[in-house]
Amino acid sequence: MVAAGYGLAALVFVLVGLHLRLSWRGGRQGALLLYAITASLAWALVSLAFALDATWLLWAISGMLDSLRIAAWLMFLFSLLELTGTELSPSIARVRQIALGVVGVRFLADLFGASGLVPGLLGGQFVAVLTLASAVAGLVAIEQLYRNFPEQSRWGIKPLAVGLLGAFFFDVYVGADAFMFRRVDLTLWGVRGFVWCAAMVLVAISAGRSRNWNFRISVSREVVFHSATLGVAGLFLLVVAGAGYWVRFFGGEWGAALQILLLFGGLMGCAIVLFSGAFRAKLRVFLAKHFFSYRYDYRAEWLRFTQALAVSGGSADLSIAVIRGLADLVESPGGVLWLKDHSGRYAPYARLNHVQVDASEAVDGPFARFLMQRGWVVDLAEVRSQPSIYEGFEPPAWLEQVPDAWLIVPLFVELELVGFVVLMTARTSIDIDWEVLDLLKTASRQAAVHLGRHQAAEALMEAQKFDAFNRMSAFVVHDLKNLVAQLQLMLRNADRHKDNPEFQQDMLDTVRHVQERMKGLMSQLQEKRSIDMRRPVSLGELAQRIADGKRHQRPLVSVQLDAAPVAMAHPERIERVVGHVVQNALDATGDDGIVGIRVFERDGMACIEVRDSGCGMSVQFVRERLFKPFQSTKDAGMGIGAYETLQYITELGGRIDVESEPGRGTTMQVWLPCVREAVSPAEAA
């Protein structure tokens, strides 16, 4: 046990010393603390060596290093009084001289004993008296430090004073035991390592609190909280184990059974305590009150709150995350979120660990006006006990539907109140002071920004859906215009060819086609999606069908098939967009002109080339206006046919090349990826 104690002490001295050295920013007090820790490390290592190999030389060296480390701790303790800005009083200076003198005498005694000059000093009561006196000197130094330190600054040195007080008091006990019994109890001497381990933890806490020591370190609240939780659980289990052994030996024939039952009940009780939200909340508040100057670790709280909002998914998840984030700041189990709806009222939007509430609040009501004007976090308990503070506040009637309502946290985006959160009563008693209110206000504003951004994204998505629907409607109207044009052309020729059987059959086919196409367009509008899926389309047959459909117009459309490529497309849509290109060529060409379609294949790409000898277009028009929506040179044109053609061909993975010159005609090439004629269903999908 002796070796384990000093080995653990050496490890703790190394870890604390490295941590302080890496965070040291210069300064006399910090340097003296590092010297004290270094001397303590050397003492622990030599004591460990003595525990493994007990020799007089190692014992003497251990005593010498013990004197040096106590001297270093005394110098550090008295140097802390210099932080107050006042000189040491004569009495304090005298106490320091006496304390250092006692330690110096002990060092000389151990030195002479180690050198063999005065071997009698190693044993007997003399060394015990010096050990006792050096420990008392340490106690006196701590007493002088704490009594003369300014009261408003004692918070930073309390852990240090408690830790060193315990360590030096134990040294007094070890020295007194050696003096009375005229021998050193190695068991007590070995426990010193464990005692100084505990003392160093408190010294590290004071180093984190006292910025004047010039250490840039901080004590993790999470480590303290989890360590305290495990400590409480371990103490609880030790008590249960002790009671179990007592029951086993004094419980008679039922002793073994009762011991097992008691241990099982203890484990169950420990698990319940560890996973109890109320217990964890009480412990967290207790640690924040008694171990830290501020209630919150703002960096950790802010990172946790931001992460909770960032990882939330949809609108419901974000709303729950807002409630949970605000509730966790004040140890509340949950609450209800009200947001402004489309009717202009604040309505319940989400809830966490709470019953359903069906109530709304008017935007211009007295409750909303109070939150808007004051921007306060409303403490309902304070409203009931001190109503004069909340002058003008009228609790709404729906608050009676919210059991355990405690805090009302407004959510502001700039100066607009977008909603508010009603939190339930905390699991433990919490004082609502300026620190809690400021944290809730800041967190609520960040939460409101996230909610506002999410609502704006939803509104934008809805607007995009309407935009897509309007765009599709424009395409449908454009198709209807073409269908009406077909019917008008048929009616114009009806008087001249009404007795012609071929014309009558063609008229019936045209009406049937228009009727089927209009049904498809209506389905497309109602379902808000394409009415057919991509399928293999023979581009040669497509070109021939388009030319046959234009046979009543002049000039006649010629077709040249250099290949028979197949492309994946929506049959009716690809026919519509290519037909639009052919129709534009016919509109731009006189009756004596030339319009032709050529289908060929090159480098795995199929091409439908539409060539005419019409009026042509300028390079600037092709570049700036041809494929822009709502740009048309026709009096009755809508200007979206070419735009739809480009959008659809690009969607299929193709492209459109245009060559045109005013007065010399236009050549437009529609390129599409080729596919095999036999296509599997998976490829078609």
pLDDT band at 124; cut points 50, 70, 90: very low
Query: Is pLDDT of 123 > 80?
Result: no
Tokens representing 649 are 């061909």
Let me know whether 178 and 237 are in one domain: no
Residue 475 resides in a domain: no
Domain limits for position 392: 298-457
What's the burial of 241, exposed, middle or buried (CB within 10 Å: 0-12/13-18/19+)? middle
pLDDT-derived band at 215 (thresholds 50, 70, 90) equals very low
DSSP assignment string, 68-116: HHHHHHHHHHHHHGGGGTSPPPHHHHHHHHHHHHHHHHHHHHHHHHHHT
Is cis: bond before 119, omega within 30 of 0?
A: no
Q: Which of residues 185, 219, 253 is at a domain's end?
A: 219
Question: pLDDT tens digits for 500-517?
Answer: 887 778 878 778 877 777
More confident residue, 49 or 156: 49
Does residue 442 register a pLDDT over 60? yes
- The DSSP output letter for 528 is T
**pLDDT of 120 higher than 50:** no
Same domain, yes or no, for 537 and 653?
A: yes
Query: Any residues with CB less than 8 A from the CB of 228 and at least 6 apart, and which?
Result: 283, 287
Structure confidence at residue 22 as a pLDDT band (50, 70, 90): confident
Residue 346 has pLDDT above 80, yes or no: yes
pLDDT of residue 518: 76
Reading the block at residue 663, the tokens are: 């007065």
Give the pLDDT confidence score for residue 169 in this predicted structure.
84
Model confidence at 527, pLDDT cuts 50, 70, 90, reads low
Asked if residue 546 belongs to a domain, the reply is: yes
Residue 313 pLDDT > 60, yes or no? no
| pLDDT, average across residues 436-454 | 88
Residue with tokens 């077709």: 559
Q: Which amino acid is at 642?
A: A
- Is the model's pLDDT at 474 over the cut of 70? no
Are 163 and 261 members of one domain? no
- Average pLDDT estimate for 48-59: 83
Do residue 543 and residue 678 come from a single domain? yes
State whether 244 and 329 are in the same domain.
no
pLDDT of 121 reads 42
618-645 average pLDDT score? 72
Answer yes or no: is 99 within a domain.
yes
Give the mean pLDDT of 109-119.
56
Q: Does the residue 513 lie in any domain?
A: no
- Can you give the pLDDT at residue 536? 92
> Which tokens go with 388?
């004069």
Is it the case that residue 172 has pLDDT exceeding 90? no
Please give the C-alpha separations between residue 171 and each of 315, 407, 506, in angstroms, as whole numbers: 63, 52, 116
Contact 315, 454 (CB under 8 A): yes
What are 605's strand-pairing partners?
602, 673
Query: Burial, 314: exposed, middle or buried (Cβ in 10 Å; 0-12, 13-18, 19+)?
Result: exposed
| CA proximity to 428, closest of 224, 288, 252 | 288
Q: Are 305 and 445 in contact (CB under 8 A)?
A: no
- pLDDT grade, residue 21 (50/70/90)? confident
Name the range with the highest mean pLDDT among 33-37, 230-234, 356-360, 407-411: 407-411
What sections of 275-297 are H helices per DSSP? Answer: 277-291
Number of domains in the chain: 4
Q: What per-residue confidence (pLDDT) applies to 300?
A: 73
Task: Tell me: do 339 and 361 sit in the same domain.
Answer: yes
In terms of domains, do 589 and 632 share one? yes
pLDDT of residue 663 exceeding 80: yes
Interatomic CA distance for residues 332 and 428, integer angstroms: 9
Asked whether residue 564 falls in the same domain as residue 601, the answer is yes
For residue 524, being part of any structural domain is answered with no
pLDDT at 190 over 70: yes
Dist. CA 417–CA 338, nearest whole Å:
11
Token pair 């492209």 in the structure block, residue: 655
CATH (domain of 336): 3.30.450.40
pLDDT at 641: 74
- Dig out the tokens for 450 from the structure: 């996230």
Both tokens of 639, joined, read 């200007």
With contact defined as beta carbons under 8 Å apart, do 347 and 360 qualify? yes
Quick one: pLDDT at residue 207? Answer: 78
- Mean pLDDT, residues 146-174: 79
Distance CA 456, CA 416 (A): 14
303 or 640, greater pLDDT: 303
Does residue 74 or residue 528 have the better pLDDT? 74
Average pLDDT, the chain: 77
pLDDT at 537: 92
| Percentage of residues in the chain having pLDDT higher than 90 | 16
CA neighbor of 124 nearest in space, from 184, 196, 195, 42: 184
Residue 59 lies in a domain: yes
479: in domain:
no
Q: Which of 244, 260, 291 is the last residue of a domain?
A: 291
Whether the pLDDT of residue 272 is over 80: the answer is no
Query: How confident is the model at residue 228, as a pLDDT?
Result: 56
DSSP alpha helix (H) spans, 389-433:
none
Co-location of 114 and 170 in the same domain: yes
Averaged pLDDT for residues 600-610: 93
Boundary residue ending a domain (199, 219, 239): 219
Gap between the Cα atoms of 436 and 487, Å rounded: 75
Mean pLDDT, residues 185-202 taken together:
81
Query: What gap in Å lies between CA 528 and CA 524, rounded to an integer?
Result: 6
Answer yes or no: is pLDDT of 620 > 80.
yes
Report angle CA 647, 649, 654 to the nearest 5 degrees. Answer: 130
| Same-domain check for residues 306 and 405 | yes
From 113, 110, 131, 140, select the one nearest 185 (Cα to Cα): 131
The pLDDT-based confidence of 213 (bands split at 50, 70, 90) is low
The candidate with the shortest Cα–Cα distance to 617, out of 656, 665, 577, is 665
pLDDT at 232 over 70: no
User: Domain for residue 411, yes or no?
Assistant: yes
Q: Which of 674 and 231 is assigned the larger pLDDT?
A: 674
Residue type at position 428: T
State the pLDDT at residue 611: 95
Numbers of helices and strands, H then E, in the chain: 21, 13
pLDDT at residue 679, as a whole number: 47
For residue 252, pLDDT over 60 is answered with: no
What length is written for the chain?
Answer: 685
What confidence category does residue 417 fall into, taking pLDDT thresholds of 50, 70 and 90? very high
Mean pLDDT value of segment 644-655: 87
Instruction: For 568-599, write each residue's pLDDT tens digit.
Output: 998 888 888 898 899 889 988 988 899 999 99
pLDDT over threshold 90, residue 78? no
CA–CA separation, 315 vs 458, rounded Å?
9
Of the candidates 17, 12, 9, the one whose C-alpha atom is nearest the C-alpha of residue 34 is 17
Mean pLDDT of 554-570: 91
Same domain (yes/no): 204, 228: no
Whether the per-residue pLDDT at 289 is higher than 70: the answer is: no
The DSSP 8-state label assigned to residue 591 in this structure reads T
Among 198, 196, 193, 197, CA closest to 51: 193
> What tokens were used for 585?
């060529």
Q: What is the pLDDT of residue 672?
A: 94
What residues contact 631, with CB distance under 8 A and at least 6 apart?
A: 625, 639
Residue 188 has pLDDT above 80, yes or no: no
Higher pLDDT, 228 or 579: 579
Identify the CATH number of the domain in which residue 647 sits: 3.30.565.10
Q: Which of 60-64, 98-102, 628-632 tops mean pLDDT?
A: 60-64
Q: Are residues 387 and 354 in the same domain?
A: yes
Among the ranges 304-308, 415-419, 635-639, which has the highest mean pLDDT value? 415-419
* Sign of the Cα pseudo-torsion (313, 318, 324, 325, in order): positive
